Amino acid sequence: LAKTTQPISMDSYEGQEVNITCSHNNIATNDYITWYQQFPSQGPRFIIQGYKTKVTNEVASLFIPADRKSSTLSLPRVSLSDTAVYYCLVGLMSGSARQLTFGSGTQLTVLP
Amino acid sequence: NAGVTQTPKFRILKIGQSMTLQCTQDMNHNYMYWYRQDPGMGLKLIYYSVGAGITDKGEVPNGYNVSRSTTEDFPLRLELAAPSQTSVYFCASSPDLNTEAFFGQGTRLTVV
């Protein structure tokens, strides 16, 4: 079963830019890459989605290289309220089965 | 607009008991998903459905069953509860496979 890989944890200070990378070697040709944020005792919440190159919205940017085997979520000027677990989600091909797999998640801690 | 609603929020089961976790969405989404999240871990896909009458296994389907008789409802059935099924269960829905998924608030299940 193909898997995604993310750093387990990251620390940052308020006002800094944070970049979190996800590796997904077996991504399917037509699959998008989606990032979610999760606070304790809550369901994940959508942040951003992309297919290739760069996508930007009001809260984040997503960078995807040409081979699409990885992606980087960029959070500009983080605040204390951005402390959460961040997951990347891709549809991964495993033989003939489709698996919608979350990465292991990255615990981001923003320090004052 | 309620989004994705899960019931119950909490439940304690004895080993061998059965129960159904309810999930309903009012967004007319085709896709629905069940995930489980063990403490400190990422989300693993149990089952998903691409529309009424169609379901498919995810990464960890053993010990669970689902049905999708309507677009709105996607219940998850545990027939013989085991301690290994102690987890938080999240239901989600999305309009399509590669679009934003909306998650419920979760059901915290403890099997003793």
Question: How many A×B Cβ pairs under 8 Å?
Answer: 57
CA distance A4 to B110: 28
Task: List the single residue in B with minimal CA-CA distance to A47.
Answer: B100
Model confidence at A29, pLDDT cuts 50, 70, 90, reads confident
Q: Which residues of A touch B10 (CB under 8 A)?
A: none
Chain B nearest CA to A14, separation (Å): 25
Q: Which residues of A touch B105 (CB under 8 A)?
A: 42-43
Please, which residues have CB within 8 angstroms of residue B8's CB and are 6 or more apart in sequence?
Answer: B21, B22, B107
- Residue B16 DSSP label: T
Chain B nearest CA to A22, separation (Å): 14
Cross-chain residue pair B43–A87, CB shorter than 8 Å: yes
Chain A nearest CA to B80, separation (Å): 25
Cross-chain residue pair B42–A99, CB shorter than 8 Å: no
Neighbour-count burial of A35, counting CB atoms closer than 10 A to its CB (0-12 exposed, 13-18 middle, 19+ buried): buried
Cross-chain residue pair B48–A32, CB shorter than 8 Å: no
Question: What letter represents residue B30's amino acid?
Answer: N
Q: Which two tokens stand for residue A75?
A: 């959070």
For residue B42, what pLDDT is reported?
A: 87
CB A36 within 8 A of CB A49: no
Percent of chain A with pLDDT over 90: 70
Model confidence at A94, pLDDT cuts 50, 70, 90, reads low
For residue B39, what pLDDT is reported?
A: 87
Among B41, B45, B102, beta carbon nearest to A100: B45
Q: What is the pLDDT of residues A40-79, one digit of tens each?
A: 989 999 999 999 999 999 999 999 999 999 999 999 999 9
Positions of chain B with pLDDT lower than 50, given as ranges: none
What's the Cα-to-Cα distance from B37 to each of A6, A45, A85, B91, rounded to whole Å?
17, 15, 13, 11
Q: What is the mean pLDDT of residues A22-47?
A: 90
For residue A98, what pLDDT is reported?
A: 62
Among A87, A98, A100, beta carbon nearest to B42: A87
What's the Cα-to-Cα distance from B86 to each of A105, B83, B106, B107, rounded to whole Å?
20, 6, 13, 10
Nearest to B65 by CA among B51, B78, B83: B78
In chain A, DSSP finds a helix count (H) and a strand count (E) of: 0, 10
For residue A28, what pLDDT is reported?
A: 83
Backbone angles phi, psi at B85, to 5 degrees: -95, 5
